[in-house]
Amino acid sequence: MKLYCIGIGPGGEEQMTLRAVRALEKCDCVAGYGLYLDLIENLIEGKERVQTGMTKEVDRCTAARDLAKQGKTVAVVSSGDAGVYGMAGLLLEVCENDPEIEVEVIPGITAACSGGAVLGSPMTCDFACVSLSDLLTPWEVIEQRLRGAAQGDFCIALYNPASKKRTDHLRRACDILLETQPPETVCGLVRNIGREGEEYTLTTLGALRDTTVDMLTTVFVGNSRTRVVNGRMVTPRGYRGV
């Protein structure tokens, strides 16, 4: 019994690892959120699709587990990396009482890396990833993590910065970061990473507070050394002679 959990990266098949592509080739069924299945449509043609919407992640993983128990080779796909706000942890939990199922997690390019490459090199040094979604994590915990990252002078990648219901979370996050970080701290935003309509903007922490974003945007907050180099966001690592 074989069950893959595959990170498909930010966009289409050209941004997937060869290991992920080869795993999909072996599968009879592929489970995932509809948008992510559409992004790899050419790779899963003719395979059974198990498609569920947002907030139906448990149903998705349970269906994949049950198909694997029927003897089918199944993949559960996540955008970015399956282990970074993806399905890997949940899938392993769902299969906890089914040790006969071999679960293989295949990594992908997460937004902190793919979005950082669009901006330049904001994550060259130590960095933190924080999701601003309080659907599964209490906002009080998110606040603690933001303060800890800011006090440690980490570069920060902010995932899930806003949604239709969470319109003020980025502003609230910026207010927390501004407690210790200066308003001129270099920041960047990337929308539609690796997909049609990809765009990026450089800004400052002070201006970021009043910027409108959505769930397709990843936000990057620099540390005290981050600067703009020829229009790109760069956090120097500190090499001598530069």
Q: What is the DSSP string of 183-242?
A: TT-EEEEEESTTSTT-EEEEEEHHHHTT----TTEEEEE--TT-EEETTEEE-----TT-
Q: pLDDT > 70: what percent of the chain?
A: 100
| Cross-strand bridge partners of residue 240 | none
Amino acid at residue number 113 = C
The answer on pLDDT for 157 being more than 80 is yes
The answer on pLDDT for 216 being more than 80 is yes
Residue 214: predicted pLDDT:
94
Measured CA distances, 74 to 21, 45, 107, 118, 182 (Å): 13, 14, 16, 33, 48
Binned at pLDDT 50, 70 and 90, residue 53 comes out as confident
Rounded Cα distance between 72 and 77, Å, is 16
> Average per-residue pLDDT in the chain?
95
In the chain, the domains with their CATH numbers are 2-106 (3.40.1010.10), 111-234 (3.30.950.10)
For the sheet with 127-131, list strands across it: 127-131, 155-159, 217-221, 186-191, 199-204
* Biggest distance spanned by C-alpha atoms of the chain: 61
Strand 74-78, strand 2-7: pairing: parallel
Cβ atoms within 10 Å, residue 163: 15
Residue 57: predicted pLDDT:
94
Question: Which residue did the predictor score with more confidence, 143 or 39?
Answer: 143
Residue 218: predicted pLDDT:
98
Query: Between the CA atoms of 34, 80, 77 and 32, what dihedral angle is there, to the nearest 10 degrees?
Result: -20
Residue 9: predicted pLDDT:
95
Binned at pLDDT 50, 70 and 90, residue 12 comes out as confident
Residue 165: predicted pLDDT:
85
Residue 54: predicted pLDDT:
77
For the sheet with 120-121, list strands across it: 120-121, 232-234, 227-229
Binned at pLDDT 50, 70 and 90, residue 242 comes out as confident
Angle between helices 169-177 and 139-151 (to 10 degrees): 40
- Region 173-194 average pLDDT: 97
Q: Which helix (H) or strand (E) holds 31?
A: strand 29-33
Residue 14: predicted pLDDT:
86
Rounded Cα distance between 239 and 242, Å, is 6
The answer on pLDDT for 231 being more than 80 is yes
| Residue 16: closest CA among 45, 46, 36, 32 | 36
The answer on pLDDT for 52 being more than 90 is no
Contact 81, 108 (CB under 8 A): yes
Q: What is the CA radius of gyration of the chain?
A: 19
Contact 104, 2 (CB under 8 A): yes
Residue 239: predicted pLDDT:
86
- Region 69-81 average pLDDT: 97
Binned at pLDDT 50, 70 and 90, residue 11 comes out as confident
Tokens 């990337």, located at residue: 190
Polymer length in residues for the chain: 242
The answer on pLDDT for 227 being more than 90 is yes
- Region 143-148 average pLDDT: 98
Residue 238: predicted pLDDT:
85
pTM across the whole model: 0.94
The answer on pLDDT for 55 being more than 90 is no
